Amino acid sequence: MSVMPADGPCGGEGALMIRAIESRSMRVRDVPWEVVAPPAPEDAARARWEAQPWRRQLQEAREHERRVGRAALVEALLSEGHEVEADVARFAGAQEDRGALSIGQVVRFADGLRARLGQARTDDELLQLAYLRRNAEELAERMIDWAN
């Protein structure tokens, strides 16, 4: 199964998800004696992922943002016969880093699709986004298996 935006190819791979990913806001804590960076949107996506006990979880938290070469990951997925996950790996998180991919990027991509599902206008678009989200979650779980 090939992964394609609902309206066909438009402005590059993953163009359909850009609005959902870019629309997240950031919060800042007010503590005058403590210098704290504002929590990144990925923290919320990671927290939602880790709050789901049925999901595969990382044994080493550092692995969440460890980047691997996108081309090498796609090649490894294809060699194991996971064509759909390879398609997702080609463009998931490409807005953050075109040459590399991390588990965190895939989790954020899947989380962005969750938000985008609420904006779907047609049944066809809803189904395509749901399949893409499921495939992104499967890719994240496969990457977690490899990291563990």
In-domain check, residue 47: no
In-domain check, residue 138: yes
- Token code pair at residue 117: 């599902």
Give dist(CA 47, CA 33) in Å, integer: 26
In-domain check, residue 40: no
Grouped pLDDT means (10 residues each) for the chain, 148 residues: 51 46 41 44 70 70 81 90 90 80 87 87 91 90 83
Give dist(CA 18, CA 112) in Å, integer: 9
In-domain check, residue 43: no
Domain count, the chain: 1
In-domain check, residue 125: yes
In-domain check, residue 22: no
Q: What does pTM read for this prediction?
A: 0.62
